Amino acid sequence: MNYQRRFDYDITTSELLQKLRNLNDEKSYLKSDRKVIMMCGFFENSHLCYHLQLTNAHYTPVIFNVECPRGRAFGATPHIGVVMPQCKIIIYCTFHSERITRVPDDGIYIYSIFQKAVNYDQFSNSQSDKEKERIARKIWSQHRGKCLECLRLPVAFEPRRAAVHEQHIEVYCDEITGKFQYIAPKLSKEELPTSQLPSAKEMQ
């Protein structure tokens, strides 16, 4: 039999990633500092963490909901929240490699950050970040239908490069051109989630 391919599947991984980057630039309120989540030090440390910086370039508040890649190895903190206009936030993307025997292929796993623009009035009475997060969760629980605005970032691994892991901090910025304000976490060590535990390099 003469099988004819109706579609051209001859494409490289780099071309697929580039198409994904171009798509993200068109349908995303939140802009990332990089177009890929780079996990470094796969063989040196079983808990890898990437600090993803997101900037809200929209003129209204944007709530987000992070969908991690399937499997128990991936995580994100926080995974639901809000970013005010012209402000920035850091999401800690984590990977636990205890049960992984080899480095995963680049671009196989993807973080999806769903977004929705909301009105200022919904956060007018919120005084703290916890209150804003509670409101964002309530809005997402009432959401129905498709979410058209989504930022999808592929995960890549660099096992031979030493992991550079900074201390986890809460970042808040009033304007894109302004300076960061650093607020130390108030949680005790017992209350810290796994994604905020110090790395092996920090414990030395």
The domain locations on the chain are 13-203
Cis before 78 (ω within 30) = yes
- Domain 13-203 sits in CATH at 2.60.40.10
pTM assigned to the model: 0.67
pLDDT tens over the chain, length 204 residues: 444 545 455 666 667 666 666 665 567 899 998 888 988 876 655 788 899 999 998 899 999 999 999 888 899 999 999 999 999 999 999 988 776 667 777 878 899 999 999 998 888 888 788 888 899 999 998 887 778 889 999 998 876 655 556 666 655 555 555 544 444 445 444 444 444 444 445 444
Q: Which amino acid is at 99?
A: R
CA angle 68/69/75 to nearest 5° reads 45
Alpha helices (runs of H) in 31-90, residue ranges in sequence order: none
pLDDT at 128: 85
pLDDT at 96: 84
pLDDT at 122: 87
Q: Which residues of 91-130 are buried (b: 16+ CB within 10 A; e: fewer)?
A: bbbbbbbeeeeeebebeebebebbbbeeeeebbeeeeeee
Gap between the Cα atoms of 31 and 24, Å rounded: 9
Per-residue 3-state assignment (H helix, E strand, C coil) for 155-170: EEEECCCCCCCCCCCE
